[in-house]
Structure 1
Amino acid sequence: MKNLKLVVTLSVSLLLITFFCFAKKIDNQQDRKYFMQSKNTKVAYFASGCFWCVEAIFESVSGVEEAVSGYAGGHTLNPTYNSIGTGKTGHAETVAVYYNPNMVSFKTLVKVFFGSHNPTTVNGQHPDYGTQYRSIAFYSNETEKQIIEKAIKLLNKTVYDDNIVTEVTKYTKFYKAEEYHQDFEQRNPNQGYVKAVSTPRLNRFKQKFSQLLKKGKFH
């Protein structure tokens, strides 16, 4: 009887170890798409309303290898979609843009950012409002900060009459959003919000910046 119990215990342990190793392998495979796609890859971070929309816009740009929805700009650990919705975590829906600087520059990504949303709207992009939808351009170094500030200065002078409210914020931490948010627009083309808001926003961007789009896929 003791030997039988030992065999059962060992068998269960082996099954658990196999399961966790398999799960870890899957996690690693899924995470691989969210990190360095090539040795040249850099990452930029932008918040400009619903990340379903923002992710789809940046993924349409030539030179962008991947865009990941997540949360940044807050003061709490491990934010979730539900927690940032309370407005108490300080985070905004943010997209991490993985790009090849040999194909698209940070300056161009900043142009995409400002050209694909209304940077004069406080805490929101219609129809989404709240601090989690505010406009933020994150910088990782002084050069990026200067590029963002120069773009704001020019746009304030030529387009927005000094009404831009975009935050220029030092990047500190990015939390990847729940898996169901990733590639949401692409995977759910018939979802109500996607049809009414996300797809029209993407199409407006494509019409405005057709020269920046990946060839074939997004035309």
Structure 2
Amino acid sequence: MYSYKTYLSSFLLIILFSCKNIAQINPKQQAVIDAKPIEVELVNGKARAYFASGCFWCVEAIYESVKGVDEVISGYSGGFTKSPTYEASNTGKTGHAEAVEVIYNPEIVSFETLVDVYFASQDPTQVNGQGPDNGSQYRSIIFYQNDTQKQIIMNKKEALAKTLGETIAAEVYPFQKFWIAEDYHQNFEKLNPNHGYIRNVSIPRLKRFQAKMPEVLKANH
């Protein structure tokens, strides 16, 4: 028979773990999630979009291959600390994820297509990482700047979940600020083609994406 003593012990364990989970919620991070999105104005007709999807070396190269994309910059976003660095973000204590700023011509490529590229270029079910890169600094986040973008993201995320029959790991954040990464991270794949990580992880990931969405690629890719 299920004794009162056993019931009490179980109840106390539930309370203990519930309190522990509540204590682990970072109010500073929650403030980022609940913030009002900041909309970035067009500059010379060019828009900006922000994505986190594992190592920014990989993601930068993926978006650079898409028609209508002028430039992609590696950096950090989604956290609560100011002026994050590579070393600080790697501790997982800043709240930031490695992210990219995609500068694009909305007359050629839409935000909706950029979201399609996002999901097609990753394992959408992997939590806190992509491939061999694990940790909150490598988690998947899509940043929205207005309600229209948020709805596009949520619709595609829901549709993908139904198609796969699995939970989609990507978090959805209001965009706040993008911090540019150190110079040596910029164009890393292009400048370091023989780097072990680039050969074994980044380039294969790029090629898998290109095989999925050849219709969006630039002529030289």
Task: Give TM-score, length-normalised by structure 1.
Answer: 0.81
Which amino acid in structure 2 is aligned with residue 185 of structure 1?
E
What is residue 208 of structure 2 aligned with on the other side?
204
SS at match of 1:102: coil
Instruction: Report how far residue 120 of structure 1 moved.
Output: 1.1
Instruction: Report how far residue 162 of structure 1 moved.
Output: 3.8
What is residue 54 of structure 1 aligned with on the other side?
59
182, 187, 195: which is aligned to 1:191? Answer: 195
RMSD of aligned Cα (Å): 1.5
What is residue 170 of structure 1 aligned with on the other side?
174
The alignment status of 1:65 with 2:99, answered yes or no, reads no
8 Å Cα contact 2:69-2:104 kept in structure 1: yes
Q: Extract unaligned runs of 5+ from structure 1.
A: 1-35
Which amino acid in structure 2 is aligned with residue 91 of structure 1?
H
SS at match of 1:83: helix
Identity of matched residues, %: 57
Find runs of 4+ consecutive structure 1 residues off by over 3 angstroms: none
8 Å Cα contact 2:42-2:48 kept in structure 1: no
The alignment status of 1:101 with 2:103, answered yes or no, reads no
What is residue 15 of structure 2 aligned with on the other side?
none
Q: Write the distance in 2 (CA, Å) between the matches of 1:89 and 1:119.
A: 23
What is residue 48 of structure 2 aligned with on the other side?
43
Task: Give TM-score, length-normalised by structure 2.
Answer: 0.80
What is residue 130 of structure 2 aligned with on the other side?
125
8 Å Cα contact 2:92-2:136 kept in structure 1: yes
Which amino acid in structure 2 is aligned with residue 165 of structure 1?
A
